[in-house]
Amino acid sequence: MKDKIIRKATELFLKLGFKSVTMDDIANEMAISKKTIYTHFKNKTTLVRECAFSVMDSITTGIDQICALDSNPIEELFEIKKFIMQKLEDDQTSSQFQLQKYYPEIGKKLHQNQLEKMLESTQKNIKKGIDQGFYRKNLDSDFIGRLYFMGITGIQNEDLFPIEKFSSKYRTEEYLEYHLRGIVTPEGLITLNKFIKEHKTND
């Protein structure tokens, strides 16, 4: 039952927002009593924490599986982007900012975990790209990893990028291309252009 509550609550939190969804809403959606929820979760904050890290774990597992395929580094980033876009639709992209506003301790911990994971995967991607000749040899992988993380999280800020003007899909695709064009070699640029062309054809 605990896992079912987490799944339903996560769905509602991402769709409607962490603040607006109440324990009563979750109970009503699941046709269970609120008491049943409190049997597994001390309070709403505890439930929010479980849901937030459940999403994080799901995304981390998916990224690890993509990286394990050992594709070329440019294809790897496109596949990760595609996977994350499937996970988080337009109406869900502001959820992290809500988390930081209404549950700052959870938001801070989640942000730190995301940073650590992205630094790890980005640095591996850059090393592979350099070794295979797709990325420039003089890259500082730690700096680039932090810059990439700052951009990926920053483009979700709807004050800077209002959803009615910049869809989540547009923001993510444009930023990935921007990131890659800054680090590829001439050979890597040929591969990048190929992926951009194929990607736009398939959309």
Encode pLDDT of 96-106 as tens digits: 777 888 999 99
CB 93 within 8 A of CB 163: yes
What pLDDT is recorded for position 90?
Answer: 47
Dist. CA 106–CA 97, nearest whole Å: 11
Radius of gyration over every alpha carbon of the chain, rounded to an integer in angstroms: 19
Residue bearing tokens 């709403």: 44
Residues 39-67 have pLDDT tens digits of 999 999 999 999 999 989 998 999 999 99
Dist. CA 127–CA 112, nearest whole Å: 23
State pTM to two decimals: 0.81
pLDDT class of 92 with cuts at 50, 70, 90: low
Q: Is it the case that residue 91 has pLDDT exceeding 60? A: no
Residues 123-157 have pLDDT tens digits of 999 999 999 999 999 999 999 999 999 998 888 88
pLDDT (average), residues 16-26: 91
Dist. CA 27–CA 45, nearest whole Å: 16
What pLDDT is recorded for position 28?
Answer: 96
Per the structure, the complete domain to which residue 151 belongs is given by: 2-202
- CATH assignment at residue 107: 1.10.357.10
Residue percentage of the chain with pLDDT more than 70: 94
| Number of domain units in the chain | 1
Scored b (16 or more CB within 10 A) or e, 109-146 reads ebeeebeebbbebbbebbebbbeeebbeeebebeebbb
